Structure 1
């Protein structure tokens, strides 16, 4: 089926921008979604605290405790020795999955610190997979590059979501490729998102059925004619599909294709079958995703399931690279941004914590102040967070960057209150300098969201790859 890729008009101001291919995708909820998210975004009674009460615990006890327990990090150069990061080993324990959550996608220094941390996880702790806040099919291309070196890293980064199209991310992928080129144990890459499942997944399913169940090939083809994207520009395809009023026929064909694959005769442990079924599952997830009342709830549930599937398949210890609302270990995170109602959902990290317990550790990368690109693309100065925000005390530590363990069992009462008291914490999507206090997440506390904080005092925008 061929469709014109028209661009719908949105009746609200959008603030979360992602892209694939050459077309920007506006990843937002439908009007009913926004209403549902807004209605459900209340703060529980136990979480409601006054600004004055929360600020009261930000005194000398908290700042003094942070200064005593902060482990200074030597710098942000990803290629520098990793000796200083040895402080992370006891903080992470025997974790099999570690979330690397960033408070904004727009800080070069946070990306470089995450790059250094990833190096430590790979080189010192034996992690062998990285799950990324990126589409499944784009992830397949990244994994191909990391294993074979074929292609150009800058070209590859341009295929990723617009968020990741930076020199700093290209450096991460370049290092991973260099590591694989000199080590027998390869580091793998998996995109855990479903928001832009491209033709590669459809073609893989078609090949599998043709090879293993040729008698079902024509039946599958009837479904694929209805749902396989007719363009490699998934941005354009998403914009078109988002505007389709009745998505049920597409969802039905996707589910029927999945069921066809599921019923293909196979042996237990047949890895080709398992992979084909995963491709089919991603196709279903793509079509269902844009028909949800809470797209973020659905998206993060699928991301967590995809990560778990990958871990079951590989047995690898995994680093999970994403924004902090996705990696935070507490359920019920609420994201606030100027121009839109709050968005409340259970992040992937909360499911990973539920499934893996303390085998899942959550690291939050945060900053005090600096410069971000505003929504108009121009540099905008970001002040320190307000005094009553949970991350405000991090700026009182006299290190340019440091790590601190939030799993404190023997801390003063004021510190334990700060660690466990629900409060706002900085979370920036598209920065609006007119409302510097309008960008935050709520619903839990520092220790509720994170096991470890890696903090940077001053940040600046990343370097874009055109």
Structure 2
């Protein structure tokens, strides 16, 4: 069995990943089992550089606020702003402080300098404007969509004025109140104003769609793409706030489902540009149904990766990352009867693993699921090997 396992592993490089796949995918998704470790982000950066230089990839999409990501894309494509400003305002969840994320943005700007627009690299956030404790107000996305249409479409076709939107939105504080996550009664997501805003947002998105030929001709494909992002974000946030106000047992499942649906819609839009590397937590990118426990309740939902894979087929590929140790978080040497333990016993520090071949090599010997002593790390589920195109295995993750 050890010999067979050795035959499934390769050096960690983009070419080795691509050899695992039947064709060059439009979206190559690289998952991670934990957040905030620069060792994993440095590896992502190197794979992206190789994909750019060897495979013609031009976009990277990360698990960060899609609206904030526009700030990073402006910087890497045209030099707008400074690197310090962009890292502070362009990447959510506090990950702008990461040295590896900073190096990614710096390198993309350097690569683009002096290149024609058709050859420039692009950056995208594909998460919604959401945190685990709260969601953003729909104001920014909804008013930006309205502004785009006001500038180009006959006023008689618009379903409302900017003043109407402003009145219905009210102040942002009730929308972003962190107490809502624990107390649905404090949410404004099912108020009369929010219900009217959902109808208006739907009408604005429909108008945008109806006016597509005119809008692209009058502005540009990029401007139209940006307006579509505003529309997706506005309707997604209003849907998310609607679930925030829910009091049924389905509330948390509804929330995680809407979040990954927003991610999926953003990824499908990224795929329209051409081949892209996607980076996020494994659970957001896997093809199998995702599950977790929150507040003692088991949740199951279809991840962004599962939704996108159903649409794109072989043009979506998923490579999970698995780890041996994160000793500074109490994650020590994996048990030898787990997938991580079997890979940890091999001599090198990191590998690209052919996951379906590994599953075949293991045969009827089903590895035990690894149990993490730390909530911030999700071990590989051995049952998902056959649904995974590859695994990047990193033996030891030192403290960033």
Provide TM-score, normalisation by structure 1. 0.70
2:92 to 141, 161, 167: 161
Deviations 1:249-272, CA, capped at 9 Å, x for gaps? 324313313313423662537435
CA contact under 8 A between 2:335 and 2:370: conserved in structure 1? no
CA RMSD of aligned residues (A): 3.1
Q: Using a 3 Å threshold, how does the CA distance of structure 1 residues 286 and 441 change in structure 2: closer, same or farther?
A: farther
- Counterparts of 2:159 and 2:241 in 1: how far apart (Å)? 28
After TM superposition, list the pairs within 5 Å mapping 1:132-143 onto structure 2.
Answer: 132-143=62-73
Residue 193, structure 1, aligned to residue 127, structure 2: yes
Distance 2:324 2:30 in 1: 18
Q: CA deviation at 1:127?
A: 1.1
2:218 aligned with 1:262, yes or no?
no
Distance 1:107 1:188 in 2: 23
Change (3 A) 1:267 1:453: closer
Shift of 1:430: 4.8
2:14–2:51 Cα contact (<8 Å) kept: no
Show the counterpart of 1:368: 324
1:415 equivalent to 2:366? Answer no
- Within a 5 Å distance, the mapping from 1:424-463 to structure 2 comes to 424=369, 430-431=375-376, 439-440=378-379, 442=381, 444-448=383-387, 450-462=388-400
The change in CA–CA distance for 1:202 and 1:129 in structure 2 (over 3 A counts) is same
Task: Indicate which of 322, 326, 331 corresponds to 2:284.
Answer: 326
Return closer, same or farther for 1:114/1:261 CA change in 2, 3 Å cut-off.
Answer: closer
Structure 2: how far apart are the matches of 1:258 and 1:429?
42
Say whether 1:70 aligns with 2:70: no
Match of 1:214 among 136, 155, 167: 155
| Residue deviations 1:99-150 (CA, integer Å, cap 9, x gap) | 0100111322111111111111211111112222111210111111111222
| Kept in 1: contact 2:338–2:370 (CA 8 A) | yes
- DSSP-derived class of the 2:395 partner: strand
Aligned-pair distance for 1:226?
A: 2.2
Given that 1:105 and 1:429 are in contact with CA atoms closer than 8 Å, whether structure 2 keeps it comes out as no
1:87-98 matches, cutoff 5 A: 87-92=16-21, 93-98=23-28
Are 1:348 and 2:280 counterparts? Answer: no
Structure with bigger helix share is: 2
**SS of residue matched to 1:263:** helix
Counterpart of 2:176 (choices 237, 256, 269) is: 237
Corresponding residue pairs, total? 366
Q: 2:49 aligns with which of 119, 124, 130?
A: 119
- TM-score, scaled relative to structure 2: 0.80
1:389-419 deviations in whole A, cap 9, x for unaligned? 33321101110112122232xx79652446x
Query: How many Å apart are 1:328 and its aligned residue?
Result: 1.2
Unaligned runs of 5+ in 2: 131-135, 217-222, 244-250
SS of aligned partner of 1:222: helix
Residues 195, 263 of structure 1: CA spacing in aligned structure 2 closer, same or farther, 3 A cutoff? same
Q: Does structure 2 retain, via aligned residues, the 8 Å contact 1:98–1:360?
A: yes
1:360-399 counterparts in 2 under 5 A?
360-372=316-328, 380-399=329-348
Q: Relative to 1, partners in 2 of residues 1:278 and 1:251: Cα closer, same or farther, differing over 3 Å?
A: farther
Q: Judge conservation of contact 2:27–2:276 (CA < 8 Å) in 1.
A: yes
SS in 1 for 2:383: coil
In structure 2, the residue matched to 1:224 is: 166
After superposition, give the CA deviation of every residue in 1:211-246 in whole Å (9 maximum; x if it has no partner): 123343853431233227648xx9x92526655334
Question: In structure 2, how many angstroms separate the alpha carbons of the residues matched to 1:182 and 1:423?
Answer: 52
Aligned equivalents of 1:427 and 1:152: distance in 2?
A: 40
Aligned partner of 1:26 in structure 2 is: none
The answer as to whether partners of 1:258 and 1:281 remain within 8 angstroms in 2 is no
SS in 2 for 1:124: helix
Q: Does 1:311 align with 2:250?
A: no
Alpha-carbon separation, structure 2, partners of 1:446 and 1:208 = 45
Q: Partners of 1:97 and 1:238 in 2: how far apart?
A: 35
CA contact (8 A) 2:187 2:241 kept: no
Going from structure 1 to structure 2, the CA distance change for 1:241 and 1:270 (only over 3 Å counts) comes to farther
Shift of residue 94, structure 1, vs aligned partner: 1.8
